[in-house]
Amino acid sequence: MIEIHSPTYFACCGIGGILACGTTHFAMTPVDMLKCRMQIDSTVYRGILDGLRKVGGAQGLRGLYLGGLPTLLGYSMQGMGKYGFYEYFKYRYAQAMPTGNQTVLYLAASATAESLADIMLCPMEAYKVRVQTAGTPFASGFRDGLRRIYRTEGMHGFYKGLVPLWMRQIPYTMVKFASFENIVAGIYGRVLRRRKAQVSKGKQLGVTFAAGYMAGVLCAVVSHPADTVVSKLNNSEGAGVAQTVRRLGARGV
């Protein structure tokens, strides 16, 4: 039995984040690839299904999973930081503010965790977007692509999207964790009218899935504008955040 709030507990949370984020983002690579291309050029496909048919028909499974490796690596690292640090900072902030508002605690812990997790994600996100949105093959392989970015832009090329990534991910994660925690509490307290320990494991899993789905819808709406900026910025060599936002305009964002 793992002792809660022990180093082993926080490590397990990080491992859970790797499995949750890395595998799910990798599985959704085809949709993410089409989303990035449509954010760069809204006329390239009529919609997701049209894009899947065109890319799948022309390039097969390899084309649909273009950018899959940096997606797997980047979001595994981000998941480790997001979930591991969230539980750690939630515990630490609760010690510092034992009588504080729980929602404020969730928001503070999630913002801190995500700011660190995005530093881990940013290089792979930059590489992924370049590969997925390049008009011609970006590089001959994974290592060649990394070298190309470093050769032309240095470390700035890997981290120039960090600020818009923070703009996308920090509000996303704050809304996700705070809404998830409150939705879970609401289901147990107002719908089931039982404590978690009094409910079967199957129902507990159902509550988690339901709360996760509702929280996911809320945070996706919040993060979309900054997501567009991240895609456009990483697709353009030498572009800055302010310049990219001006080019996109309110409608483009």
pLDDT digits (tens, 9 = 90+) for 38-68: 888 888 899 989 999 999 999 999 999 999 9
Cα–Cα dist 237/151, whole Å: 12
pLDDT of 252 over the 80 cut: no
- How far, CA to CA in Å, does 149 sit from each of 39, 158, 164? 21, 7, 19
Q: For residue 91, give every residue at least 6 positions away whose Cβ sits within 8 Å of its Cβ, in sequence order, or none.
A: 5
* pLDDT class of 76 with cuts at 50, 70, 90: very high
Smallest Cα–Cα separation from 83: which of 149, 180, 204, 164?
A: 180
pTM of the complete model beyond 0.95? no
pLDDT of 160 over the 70 cut: yes
Cα–Cα dist 154/36, whole Å: 23
Residue 17 and residue 81 in contact, taking contact as beta carbons nearer than 8 Å: yes
Rounded mean pLDDT of 242-250?
63
Smallest Cα–Cα separation from 121: which of 195, 48, 22?
A: 22
pLDDT over 70, % of the chain = 89
Q: Which residue has the tokens 């050029």?
A: 41
Smallest Cα–Cα separation from 219: which of 126, 90, 82?
A: 82
Greater confidence (115 vs 228) lies with 115
Q: For residue 126, give every residue at least 6 positions away whose Cβ sits within 8 Å of its Cβ, in sequence order, or none.
A: 149, 157, 158, 159, 160, 161, 234
Other Cβ atoms less than 10 A from the Cβ of 107: the count is 18
Where residue 87 falls (left for φ over 0; alpha for ψ -120 to 50; beta otherwise) is: alpha
Chain-centre distance of CA 203, in angstroms? 27
Rounded mean pLDDT of 159-172?
89
The tens digit of pLDDT for each residue in 77-86 reads: 999 999 999 9
Cα–Cα dist 81/169, whole Å: 13
Where residue 67 falls (left for φ over 0; alpha for ψ -120 to 50; beta otherwise) is: left
Other Cβ atoms less than 10 A from the Cβ of 8: the count is 11
Residue 199 and residue 245 in contact, taking contact as beta carbons nearer than 8 Å: no
